[in-house]
Amino acid sequence: MLALAADLGIDRQTALRLHHEYFDAVADAAWEDGIVTESERADLVLLAGLLGMDDTVLVAAFEPRLPRESPARATPTLAPAVRHGDLVCLTGDMQIAREDIVARLGRLGIGVHPGVTKKVKLLIAADPDSLPGKAKKARDYGIPVVSEDYLFTHLLKGEK
């Protein structure tokens, strides 16, 4: 990578700074929903190797963090605590049957609404980075959009 940068007229110090900035931006994106999935972890390990990052950078990437604010990126909304009586909405093809998710959330007193309204506290998306109807509407309303992993690691954690 550094040889390519040199061929493009980018000095070593600038190339290393750009590598670190890019890696940090990818790590921030992985943490945007509050967790790093196994797939995101594998991507970060691969990227660190491709960019020639040392282990300390990789270790730091797995420390929980909020994404850095930048003019190009809106301030992330952290997922709120969802409590008994709250409404959530589901979108996308989940890893388990939707009826099962609805039943499990119901046992916790959390209702599942079919669409995004201002009463919905959280949108749980199979693909939280997507912008189809529900995700776009949730973002427009300021409703956090979280991954399906968040559902299992935070809301249904310990629920059988």
Model pLDDT for residues 134-148, shown as the tens digit of each residue = 888 888 888 888 888
- Predicted local confidence at residue 87, as pLDDT: 95
Among candidate residues 100, 157, 104, 147, the one with its CA nearest the CA of residue 126: 147
- Measure CA 131 to chain center: 14
Whether the pLDDT of residue 12 is over 70: the answer is yes
Nearest one of 71, 82, 72 to 34, comparing CA atoms: 82
DSSP H stretches of helix in 32-147: 38-50, 55-61, 98-107, 133-141
Angle between helix axes 12-31 and 38-50 (nearest 10 degrees) is 180
Q: Determine the CATH number of domain 87-155.
A: 3.40.50.10190
Which DSSP helix (H) or strand (E) runs through 121? strand 120-125
The model's pLDDT over 52-91, given as tens digits with 9 standing for 90+, comes to 888 888 888 888 765 554 434 433 444 567 888 999 999 9
pTM: 0.51
Residue found under tokens 């939707």: 98
Q: Any idea of the CA torsion for 92, 96, 100, 106, to the nearest 10 degrees?
A: -60
